[in-house]
Homo-oligomer: A and B are copies of this chain.
Amino acid sequence: MMVPLDPSSKPTSQRRIAEGDTVVVYERHDAMRAVAVRPGAVLQNRFGVFRHDDWIGRPFGCKVHSAASAGGGGARGGKGKGGGFVHLLAPTPELWTLVLSHRTQILYLADISLVVSYLELVPGCLVLESGTGSGSLTTSLARAVAPHGRVCTFDFHDQRAASAREDFERNGLTSIITVAVRDIQGQGFPEEHTGAADAVFLDLPQPWLAIPSAGTMLKQDGVLCSFSPCIEQVQRACEAMRSCFTDIRTFEILLRTYEVREGGLKGATTNEESNAVPLAQKKRKLLAAAETLDVKQNSSVMVRPCSTARGHTGYLTFARLRVHGN
């Protein structure tokens, strides 16, 4: 269960791995996958063969080694690389975003976290979402409104909705998330939610078609968010919001990541002839002496931005349902 839903259930990381759990198998920061723990099953990857039976009863976060004598059929490859290991992590919405199957473009951490904050979600809220897509955001919405709130998510695509529903089941979120097949651009949200939603999230190619319905669903002062990759969509969405919404704000959020490495720079001394300028030289020697000690410390840790990054995901436009005076 990704999100504990009652007082008797501990946060996953405080538990031990049990049959039926989903664990995130961490090979490397860019190589993870979600695995359902089944007795007798094995996981085979480039690091070896791993028996699920070895995992059960161990804490999340532990390191497990590939079976020395690879049991079952799929032993090939396992032995050669022998002694490989992986870590077994407790699933979180953040890890889920990294391992889920991409049935559509998904939202990532930075956008997700801003959406949850700006929608002002807290436990107990009702939030509507369209479309469901790959369920990346949905899972975070669920965590935010759990244990007593609700996420009603809609996708016009049959199969996509079904796959998302399976994922939510697998992650123990069915009591929080309802998935329905519906063309929100064409039909709007179902009437049953009229005036009941604390927040509405739209990720639609033509959000302006759904905005009037979103306005109908929201409680007064409730927040709407529309996510669009192109500025033309934002322009039309903002236009559509102006009649019923206020406090319309459009943001873009990116994450810049940094890489850390150990080791200093080439000093001038290594390159310099010994008959160089005396004064500067002297200073350099002083520094060099100090650096020897310095290396033992920490100032040799160098950090700089990673050179490539996601340059754009989309624009997030937030707006509040206007409150009517009397």
A8 shortest CB reach to chain B, Å: 33
Chain A residue total in the interface (Cβ 8 A):
8
User: Does chain B have a CB within 8 A of A231?
Assistant: yes
User: Does chain B have a CB within 8 A of A299?
Assistant: yes
A307 shortest CB reach to chain B, Å: 16
Q: Name A290's closest neighbour in chain B (CB-CB).
A: B297
**Chain B neighbourhood of A293, CB < 8 A:** 290, 293
Q: Name A294's closest neighbour in chain B (CB-CB).
A: B297
A299 shortest CB reach to chain B, Å: 4
Q: How many identical subunits does the complex contain?
A: 2
User: Does chain B have a CB within 8 A of A29?
Assistant: no
Distance of A293 Cα from B294 Cα, bound (Å): 9
**Chain B neighbourhood of A231, CB < 8 A:** 231
Distance of A294 Cα from B287 Cα, bound (Å): 11
User: Does chain B have a CB within 8 A of A261?
Assistant: no
User: Does chain B have a CB within 8 A of A296?
Assistant: yes
A169 shortest CB reach to chain B, Å: 43
A77 shortest CB reach to chain B, Å: 41
A294 shortest CB reach to chain B, Å: 7
Distance of A299 Cα from B290 Cα, bound (Å): 11
A236 shortest CB reach to chain B, Å: 13
Q: Name A299's closest neighbour in chain B (CB-CB).
A: B299
Q: List 6 A-B contacts (CB under 8 A).
A: A287-B297, A290-B296, A290-B297, A294-B299, A297-B299, A299-B299
